Amino acid sequence: MPLPTNPLQMVHLGPRKKRPRQMGASMVCPPHDIKFQDLALYILEKKMGTTRRAFLMELARRKGFRVEDELSDSITHIVAENNSGSEVLEWLQGQNLKASSQLELLDVSWLIESMAAGRPVETTGKHQLVKRDYSASPNPELQKTPPLVIKKISQYACQRRTTLNNCNQIFTDAFEVLAENYEFRENEVFCLAFMRAASVLKSLPFTIISMKDTEGIPCLEDKVKCVIEEIIEDGESSEVKAVLNDERYQSFKLFTSVFGVGLKTSEKWFRMGYRTLNKIKLDKTLKFTPMQKAGFLYYEDLVSCVTRAEAEAVCMLVKEAVWAFLPEAFVTMTGGFRRGKKIGHDVDFLITSPGSTDEDEEQLLPKVINLWERKRVDSGKCSQQEGKTWKAIRVDLVMCPYERRAFALLGWTGSRQFERDLRRYATHERKMILDNHALYDKTKKIFLKAESEEEIFAHLGLDYIEPWERNA
């Protein structure tokens, strides 16, 4: 049944003028039958007021909902009005309540819709003041634990859990454009400021709706806060708009979209007056690297994102080729796909084999490439661009010694910001040096061994962060 556009009309929510009796918090209500035993509601008075709260409580009870007067551990749904997620969380923190697996923090719209429907409607993102969408997490423990208790947010991404469920995309998209523009202009300080800000907002379990919500959040410099404020007020940032229309930004964005083209080459082409790829391709005086040649040749394929299905197909090919030379090898998909991303710009793999020699390790990748090269020539795919039935996909292969696999796996899983902060944390908080190969303790002057990522986190004194929580 479609809901009426204004559910208030259907359940007559507004206090009527001719009410036979005044309803107040102290009123003794007649008992109502509870139809929905699994739910226990608590309606938050803050910003709603006593009268409206009492009114909604009475109405919900009449509709068969269990509404409690007091907050307790048995409450399953907290309903609030005119409160942001962070405000409800802040209030809840002062309530000495056990974090329950059931607890939902909902906007009053959920209660109104539920009363209109005559049953509790499904809670969705539009009702949830704090998202509890851990459904993507394969860890059942995580699905049970809502992120109710907001601890002090760390300045390090490796001390935050960042899933792909980004509640602040409107801000983070803007920051990423600005960071990229600063990168193109080689302003590292501002670039990093916006990248860190994007990273911290991605970890928040609530959407920022007012400047008050930004209080206590680290990594938000004044420059960043100005952008947030403008987006809250106008829905967009004038600075971002200007960047998106900027000729240098647009050209660099286009040039760096070619595989093998970085900032230096972009700068050169931009200074030469180039603004399109077609003109560059036709300039016979320009010398291209083998990567750039491939970048131009397979441009359309490479700019289109790699899907998970394509990544899985590539994984089969990589395994088949690797196992032809090292049958014992472990082949693991790393990078964004290991973090649960649905699309990527490439597919990253880590290859390692117990008992492999230095020589095996050195020779594996050239052997694999050689095998694929021969296959490509045999099938005549190098020249067949017309009516082609294949797609060029960028694949990053990393081979590492078996004893270093945990460091390599951690290092190649990303995200880049997560890795950056892991290293920064190791250096500044632990006097250790971490890279994709090893962890060195400068105080003890020893290399710390690890068989798993969990052990590396433990060496660093960090809680373990699962790959899908590293989308910083």
273 C-beta neighbours (distance < 10 Å), count? 7
Q: In this complex, which beta carbon is closest to ligand UTP, that of residue 142 or of residue 157? A: 157
- Judge whether 348 counts as a catalytic residue: yes
- Min CB(338)–ligand UTP separation in Å: 8
Q: What is the CB-side half-sphere exposure of residue 104 using CA atoms within 13 A?
A: 22
Binding segment for Mg ion (CB under 5 A), chosen from 133-141, 254-262, 278-286, 338-346, is 338-346
Q: Answer yes or no whether residue 346 interacts with Mg ion by CB under 5 A.
A: yes
Tokens of 114: 């539920």
* Backbone CA torsion sign across 84, 87, 89, 92: negative
| Chain position carrying tokens 């490479």 | 302
- Asked if residue 84 lies in contact with residue 46, where contact means CB atoms within 8 angstroms, the answer is no
CA dist 363 and 367 (Å) reads: 6
Site track for Mg ion across 297-336, x = CB under 5 A: --------------------------------------xx
| Amino acid identity for residue 428 in this structure | H
CB under 5 to 8 A by kind: which of Mg ion, ligand UTP, none does 412 bind?
A: ligand UTP
| Count of residues near ligand UTP by CB under 6 A | 15
Contacts (CB under 6 A) with ligand UTP, residues 340-359: 341, 344-346, 348
Longest Cα pair distance anywhere in the chain, in angstroms?
91
- Min CB(259)–ligand UTP separation in Å: 12
- Judge whether 421 counts as a catalytic residue: no
**What is the DSSP track for 114-139?**
HHHHTSPPPP-TTTBSS----TT-S-
Binding segment for ligand UTP (CB under 6 A), chosen from 130-138, 150-158, 223-231, 337-345, is 337-345
CA dist 186 and 199 (Å) reads: 20
Catalytic hit among 246, 301, 346, 360: 346
- Judge whether 234 counts as a catalytic residue: no
Burial of 337 (0-12, 13-18, 19+ CB in 10 A): buried
Residues with Cβ < 8 Å from 14, sequence gap 6 or more? Answer: 8
CA dist 111 and 107 (Å) reads: 8
Q: Answer yes or no whether residue 423 interacts with ligand UTP by CB under 6 A.
A: no
- Asked if residue 43 lies in contact with residue 53, where contact means CB atoms within 8 angstroms, the answer is yes
- Min CB(30)–ligand UTP separation in Å: 60
Q: Answer yes or no whether residue 415 interacts with ligand UTP by CB under 6 A.
A: yes
Contacts (CB under 6 A) with ligand UTP, residues 212-271: none
Q: What's the angle, vertex CA 171, arms to CA 169 and CA 175, rounded to 5?
A: 110
Phi, psi for 358 (deg, rounded to 5): -55, -40
Q: In this complex, which beta carbon is closest to ligand UTP, that of residue 322 or of residue 422? A: 422
Query: Which one among 104, 107, 419, 469 touches ligand UTP, defined by CB under 6 A?
Result: 419
- Min CB(425)–ligand UTP separation in Å: 15
What does DSSP assign to residue 213? G
Q: In this complex, which beta carbon is closest to ligand UTP, that of residue 221 or of residue 396? A: 396
- Asked if residue 348 lies in contact with residue 412, where contact means CB atoms within 8 angstroms, the answer is yes
Q: In this complex, which beta carbon is closest to ligand UTP, that of residue 345 or of residue 449? A: 345
Contacts (CB under 6 A) with ligand UTP, residues 106-125: none
Q: In this complex, which beta carbon is closest to ligand UTP, that of residue 381 or of residue 404? A: 404
Binding region for ligand UTP (CB under 6 A): 335-336, 341, 344-346, 348, 396, 411-412, 414-416, 419, 436
**Active-site residue numbers?**
346, 348, 396
Binding region for Mg ion (CB under 5 A): 335-336, 344, 346, 348
